[in-house]
Structure 1
Amino acid sequence: RSLDHLVVPRVLGFLLNVPSRVSLGALALPLRRPHWLCVRPFGAAFYNLDSKLATPTRIGAEPQLREFLRSALAPAPSELLLVVTRDVEEAGSWLRAE
């Protein structure tokens, strides 16, 4: 489904499984393997909590989050899992009708 239909305020966090380059020290290999990262809001901004980063990185508000997600999910194969409360999941209210 399109990210445009996502009701971001109803989502507690985002788990992304994206292809990641494999490296041995300074040597980057021409291989990719799946890598998990987390994005979640703190206050009015979203942060990338990727373990490969030295510190959490500020993404910005909802428009910047949507662009970050589009970019991160572009390389195939990629997956996006949403972290929502049980009532949001049961009602399906994390997704706007098309």
Structure 2
Amino acid sequence: CPLPSPLERLALPHILGFLLNVPSRVTLGTLALPVSRPHWVGVRRLGRTFYNLDSKLAAPAAIGAEPQLREFLREALSRGPSELFLVVPRDVEEAGTWLSPE
């Protein structure tokens, strides 16, 4: 039986939000250059819906519920060198309950 991926093990009810550092294409006006640079993206849950708070968007964009969030994170992290930071309350961090047991 294969082990669940780290994204599948995230205990989403204990996590307040996410910060992603992902590659972003560099543009000059409408011209996209063949270069990328790191870009920070925030994700936050409101109610049962997660929202993409990327500053490059005109407004926050609904991602959806937990399954859609996991797919959003999987896709974002697959684009190249990237990092994922979890935003959790201190008690969750200290107890390590942001991650479900295997």
Q: TM-score interval w.r.t. the shorter chain?
A: over 0.9
Count residues with an aligned counterpart.
98
| Helix, strand or coil at the partner of 1:54 | coil
Offset at residue 44 of structure 1 (A): 1.1
Pick from 2, 7, 10 the counterpart of residue 11 of structure 2: 7
Distance 1:49 1:80 in 2: 15
| Partner amino acid, structure 1, of 2:15 | V
Residue in structure 2 matching 1:97, options 82, 87, 101? 101
Residue 99 of structure 2 aligns to a residue whose secondary structure is coil
Where structure 2 has 5 or more consecutive residues not aligned to the other structure, the ranges are none
Q: Once superposed, what is the RMSD of the aligned Cα atoms?
A: 0.8
Query: Structure 1: where are the runs of 5+ without partners?
Result: none
How far has the Cα of 1:90 moved from its partner? 0.3
* 1:10-89 matches, cutoff 5 A: 10-89=14-93
CA distance in 2, matches of 1:23, 1:76: 18
Secondary structure of 2:27 counterpart: strand
Distance in structure 1 (CA, Å) of the matches to 2:79 and 2:60? 22
> How many Å separate the matches in 2 of 1:51 and 1:34?
13
CA distance in 1, matches of 2:13, 2:100: 12
CA positional deviation for 1:43: 1.2
- Give structure 1 regions of 4+ aligned residues with deviation exceeding 3 angstroms: none
Superposition TM-score, scaled by structure 1 size: 0.97
> For residues 41-98 of structure 1, what are the alpha-carbon distances to aligned partners after superposition, in whole Å with 9 as ceiling and x for unaligned?
0111000000000110000000100000000111220100000000000000000122
Q: TM-score, normalised by structure 2?
A: 0.93
Q: Percent identity?
A: 69
